[in-house]
Structures are given as structure tokens and as C-alpha cells.
Chain A
Amino acid sequence: MLEIKNLHVKLEEEDKVILKGVNLTVETGKVHAIMGPNGSGKSTLSYVLSGRDGYEVTDGSALLEGEELLEMEPEERAAAGLFLAFQYPVEIPGVGNMTFLRTALNAQRKARGQDELSAGEFLKVVREKAKTLKIDADMLKRPVNVGFSGGEKKRNEILQMAMLEPKMCILDETDSGLDVDAMRLVADGVNALRDAGRSFLVITHYQRLLDHIKPDVVHIMADGRIIQTGGPELALEVEQNGYADILKAHGLTEAV
């Protein structure tokens, strides 16, 4: 599904290298987790994959089902099936949540040569999906993320994911700022979307989200590289011992 090879990225404005050769393959239908200390480059990886400005790819590639993501515009990546659940979902005053969702869904459908969804069809689907995420009608009408609580914002991200039905979902610290109940709701939403044709890349600092969203593979990222890969037990090890031992084994210190 997603194949990242030797990805090197620096900041556009400063001479600061963030990713120093990331190699990562996420197979179709699998859930991969990336853990790592602050500043290891986890969020940068998610931004670079989704096409945010401000980063310069100096080497490497990132293929989504064999197609080079790095050459596409952000909207083309989305239409190709990539989805990023933002760590900090953005507020768009005056634009109704429903309008936003419908515009996005129809833009993607149009880009893929599919018919646009009519208002009636769309409403039916969105109401159904919102219900399972405990998103009420009021939240659908309010402007995108404006005045939403932390939990509401994250649920809204998952609603977008459920509506857009991407192939490759990246969750960037979706657990940050969530209490236990909100985290469970979000995790349930994500788990409901797991299927054989959809892959996930779950970026998180803590192991606790992975109690709810069980990964197939866990990667540890530090200093712009993936330094260790293992099964779910690797996440538990981090939970118990922190990152210090793993970092030390790779000649790194925690205070990056």
C-alpha cells in the first residue's frame, strides 16, 4: 500500500534536516504504529506524506499503491486515497461542517471520475456515520471545528475519514488531549473502519492508544529514522521502560 524509501526531508526556510532516510512499508490491510520521543520527526513524516508546504524532500520516494505521492498536489493525494487525521484539526469559521464534508467528498469523487453525491444521498450517509461516532446533528451544522472540544475535533476527523473512505489513513497523535472515554470513542471509530483493503499508520507518543487500536507492526522513530521495528510487544516495552534504552542501543540520547 505505502512504500517509503530512503526519505530525506529538510525544512524549506531553515537549514534543518528532519528526516534522515526513512524506510517503511505498510502492507494492505495492516495497521502500523510509529512511536518515538518528541522531535523524532513523526509529525513531519505525516505532513510530508500529505503534502504540506514548508518541507523540502532532498532524497527518497513515497509510493501509494505504486504511485509517487511526493509529486502530487495535496488534493491529488487525497483523491488517490490518502488521509491524514490532523493532530490539531483546523477551524474554518463560517463553513458548515456538512458543507465542508460534502465539498470534500464530491471533489474527490469528481477527481476519480465518479458521480457527485446528491444532497439527499449525502445526508443519509453522513447521519448514519455520525451516529456511530456520537456526533449529533448540531455538531454537523456548526462551522468546521469552531468551538469544538478536543474530543469533538478528533471525532470529527474520524467522521471525515469514515465519509471519505480512504485506502491509507495516517493518524497523527490522535490520542493527544483526549480523556479515556473520548479515546475509546475515537478508537472504536477507527476499528470500525479496519478492513482488508485499508491500511493505517498510527503515530503516537504513548502506548495507550495502541491498547485500543491494536497494531500489527510497531516502529520506533528517533532522530529522523526508524531505528527499530517489531510486533505489538515493542510498544509495551516502551510503555514500561521508556525510550531511553532503545535510544542508547542506537547511540542516541533522549534529549533531542
Chain B
Amino acid sequence: MQASFAHALLETDLPEVDEHGRFNVYRNNLRITLRNALRTTFPAVEKLVGEDYFSALTLLYVERHPPRSPIMTEYGHDFAAFLSGFSPLSDYPYLADVARLEFARVQAYHAADTHNFRMDSEASAIAALDIRAMLHPSVTVVVSENPALSIWRAQLEPDATPLIPDATETAIIWRQDDLVTEMLAHADDALLLRHFAQSQTFAALISEFPDDPSVATLIARFINLAIAGIIVPTHTPIEGEMK
């Protein structure tokens, strides 16, 4: 009974189910609500394909990928995968990356809080190198063969810097205090982001490296990412160390 009801909600080619059209009203409201949820999460994708196209595209997505959770902020988790597999859009490979970015922003908003590293003195920065650390729970890294972050910015910020065609961009999305933020990853960040995907110390990363400028660069990037709140201590600092 439930399964056939759910099937009828999503199947477009069914005959009229009840003569007064009440079921159709319900079915239509459901689709519009889900489409509006996607519109809220993916505003740049909507701007890129246009309102009419986005409307048709999302109704198709709603049919093929109905929500699995009642939490609407989680709806659209595979919208990017749907876009990259959608052949009419195969000439626009950056759309899926922009969608990943936009979904990551909503997830970042709802991720757990943690404590940041203290980096207010040389001593505290040196101490941080030996403390187990991880990526902030809000962090998503979007690796794109396209300038995805610049494309996304250009849609939502009218005075964004013009984008460089053919650039590849790796974007880090995370929450700083209560604001979702995004930035381009530095060339040396990939190693750090991989290393801190599990709880690790910075010292463990460089233990095999000789003292050379590449280690100095890694130290500088670690401090930058720690100040930004992208790399955070795994454990809550003990009393007295907290701000």
C-alpha cells in the first residue's frame, strides 16, 4: 500500500487517480516542495542553466531520486552525480562541481562545532605541531578539473574577479565561527588535507623529511589552515589551554 502510494507520487505517466484531482494536487505540491528545496541549496546551478531548465531538470531528479530522509538540508546529496551522468549536459562538466560546492556549503553550515588551535604566539604554534589534529567536521574539499569555485562565485557575487578559462581549482569549504567560507587550496595543501583526514600530528608528517624549504612551506601552510579553523585539534584542549 505504502509502496504503491509512493510509486504513484513519483510516476508521471499514471492516469488520473481520483476524479476530483485531490491526489494530483498532493502529488504536485510534493514535487514543487522538493524542487524548491533544491533551488535553495543549488542557486548557482539554477543561474547557470536558467530557471526553466532547472525546473524541468529538478523535477526529473525528484522522480529518479526521491528523498531518503525527511531532513531537507540533506536532500540533493547525489544531485552532482546525477548531473555528471545526465547526457544532455555532458558539454558542461563544471555543473556537477558547482553542485558539489553548493551542497558542501549547506552541510558545512550544519556540521558540529569544535575548538580551534591557539596560534597567538610562536610557542603555541610550535606546540601545535605535536598535537593530534584532524580536519574540522565542516570541511569538504572539492577537486575540480574546471575553475568551479570561480564559476560559482561569478554567479552569486556580481563583482567577483573574472575567471581564468581552463584553470583547475581545488576548493576548501568549511565553517568559520558561524559563517560558511570557501577558499582555493594552495598547491601544498593537498598533502596536508590528506594527512589530516585521519587524526595525526604534523610532526609525524615531516619526520622523514630533511630540513629544507619544502618543510618550511608545509609549516607555513599548516599554520594558515590551523588559523582558518580548517585543521583543528582532535581532542578538546584541557582546562587552562582554552581561550
The answer to whether A and B belong to the same complex is no
